[in-house]
Amino acid sequence: MYIYEGRMLFMERIFKAMLEDIKKNYKIFLVVTVLIGIMVVMLDKFCLIAKIFGMPCPGCGMSRAVFLMFNGKISESIAMHPVLPLLIVFVIYAGIRKYVMNNRAIKDYYRYAVIFSVIMLSVYIYRMYRYFPDVEPLTFYEENILGNVIEKID
């Protein structure tokens, strides 16, 4: 009985801390959600970089990879974006450090975010060299804004 109560208090503390963070940062979440909605509805493209320049960004394919992973298609998910498993590990690690171990030192998160960004950029460069423009999601978006503006100027 005591072990169960201890676990419940532990989980309650974690959820309270998470709820505090959400309350503290709700404006950021709201703005990001609205901007994503505007991009999808008005620009007909989720990725702003692809919409403007026609080139895929380092994160292109990540949303599709998450969707595929949640549907149990692990190999297809990794093929869509091979950095997703590392991102999942990073998010779980950061969550455990922040909410379970109560370590809120922001320096650690920045260090790991920089390492993750370097890995993601390296994978992006390799994938662009190897697969662009023939393999999804690394295809050229011909309806890009910059291309249309240049066409109208010529």
pLDDT digit string (tens) for 8-23?
A: 677 788 888 888 888 8
Let me know if residue 1 belongs to a domain: no
**Look-up: residue for tokens 């093929």?**
79
Burial (CB count <10 Å: 0-12, 13-18, 19+), residue 30:
exposed
Let me know if residue 7 belongs to a domain: no
pTM as predicted: 0.74
Let me know if residue 53 belongs to a domain: no
pLDDT digit string (tens) for 58-83?
A: 998 998 899 999 999 999 999 999 99
Let me know if residue 10 belongs to a domain: no
Let me know if residue 153 belongs to a domain: no
Per the structure, the complete domain to which residue 107 belongs is given by: 58-139
What is the tally of structural domains in the chain? 1
Let me know if residue 104 belongs to a domain: yes
Let me know if residue 16 belongs to a domain: no
Q: Note the pLDDT of residue 1.
A: 47
Q: For residue 137, is it left (φ>0), alpha (ψ between -120 and 50) or beta?
A: alpha
Let me know if residue 39 belongs to a domain: no
Which residues of the chain fall below pLDDT 70?
Answer: 1-8, 43-45, 104-106
Q: Are 92 and 116 in contact (CB under 8 A)?
A: no
CA distance 67 to 92: 18
